[in-house]
């Protein structure tokens, strides 16, 4: 595998960053996860725009244009001869000293990894996922805005550890007030009487690219889409539930905290949206 690192493609064994890089020392950096399907990069420009927005908010200047960065993503796939892949695009504050001061970091570190990914086994897409609500709360948005896709994912990882220790693949995280936010790596949707509900960003939710795509698709599938504050009671009594994410795509949920959701099988609305999403990935996207 070849990895892009600070201006050139190198073998993965030589794709090394300094131990003084503030991305490693402090999680000071931003990233995007992007998918390609059949030689097309899905929502490339949306991901690039979001990366620049995250970087701008933390006052991290990406040392190239959006167009150049998009071209490097394409090159990463071509160099590795990948058509169906997951691309991890990362920009860190760069090498500094052991202090927090970002002014000590003179040059950002940029790297791009293109590889295969399989977040969940096919069985879970066919039969559905079981979730658990964990005690680890989602970060308070006023402390760390969820729209910043920073390199510090410890909040999510702690939730994931709780899920794994309890024997689950994924977990639901609540806000400090007890409202549903998202899972450790995906947004969550509820289907209830032809309504498609999802928590609003201000409760502590990332505006996921796949989340937005599904909200657009739902309008053409007889579903009224609305952002709404949700409780676990709303989840337990939903007709259907599914998760969305770049790596996960659309994953049905059939059980939460021991309660069966709907029929206990992936529902018809979820299946329709899965099919529509997969069709979009085949025909949409940027060729490379």
Three-state DSSP string of the chain: CEEEECCEEEEHHHCCCCCCEHHHHHCCEEEEEEEEECCEEECHHHHHHHHHHHHHHCCCCCCCCHHHHHHHHHHHHHHCCCCCEEEEEEEECCECCCCCCHHHCCCCEEEEEEECCCCCCHHHHHHCEEEEECCCCCCCCCCCCCCCCECCCHHHHHHHHHHHHCCCCEEEEECCCCCEEEECCCEEEEEECCEEEECCHHHCCCCCHHHHHHHHHHHHHCCEEEECCCCHHHHHCCCEEEEEECCCEEEEEEEECCEECCCCCCCHHHHHHHHHHHHHHHHCCEEC
Q: Which residues are catalytic?
A: 149
Paired tokens of 154 = 């410890």
């Amino acid at each position: 595998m070849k990895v892009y690192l600070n201006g050139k493609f190198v073998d993965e064994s030589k794709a090394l960053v300094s131990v003084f890089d503030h991305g490693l020392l402090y999680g000071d950096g931003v990233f995007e996860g992007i998918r390609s399907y059949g030689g097309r990069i899905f929502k490339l420009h949306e991901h690039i725009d979001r990366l620049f927005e995250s970087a701008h908010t933390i006052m991290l200047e990406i040392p190239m244009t959006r167009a150049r960065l998009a071209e490097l993503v394409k090159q990463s796939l071509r160099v590795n001869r990948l058509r169906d892949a997951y691309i991890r695009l990362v920009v860190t504050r760069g090498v500094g000293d052991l202090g927090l001061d970002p002014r000590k970091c003179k040059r950002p570190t940029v790297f791009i990894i293109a590889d295969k990914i399989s977040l969940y086994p096919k069985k879970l897409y066919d039969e559905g996922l079981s979730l658990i609500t964990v005690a680890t709360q989602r970060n308070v948005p006023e402390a760390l805005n969820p729209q910043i896709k920073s390199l510090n994912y410890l909040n999510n990882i702690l939730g994931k550890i709780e899920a794994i220790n309890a024997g689950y693949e994924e977990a639901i995280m609540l806000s400090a007030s007890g409202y549903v936010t998202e899972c450790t790596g995906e947004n969550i949707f509820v289907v209830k009487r032809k309504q498609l509900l999802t928590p609003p960003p201000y409760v502590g939710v990332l505006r996921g690219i796949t989340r937005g795509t599904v909200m657009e698709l739902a309008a053409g599938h007889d579903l009224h889409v609305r952002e709404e504050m949700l409780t676990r009671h709303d989840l337990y009594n939903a007709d259907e539930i599914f998760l969305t994410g770049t790596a996960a795509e659309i994953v049905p949920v059939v059980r939460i905290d021991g309660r069966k959701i709907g029929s206990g099988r992936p529902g018809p609305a979820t299946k329709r949206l899965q099919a529509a999403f997969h069709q979009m990935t085949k025909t949409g996207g940027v060729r490379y």
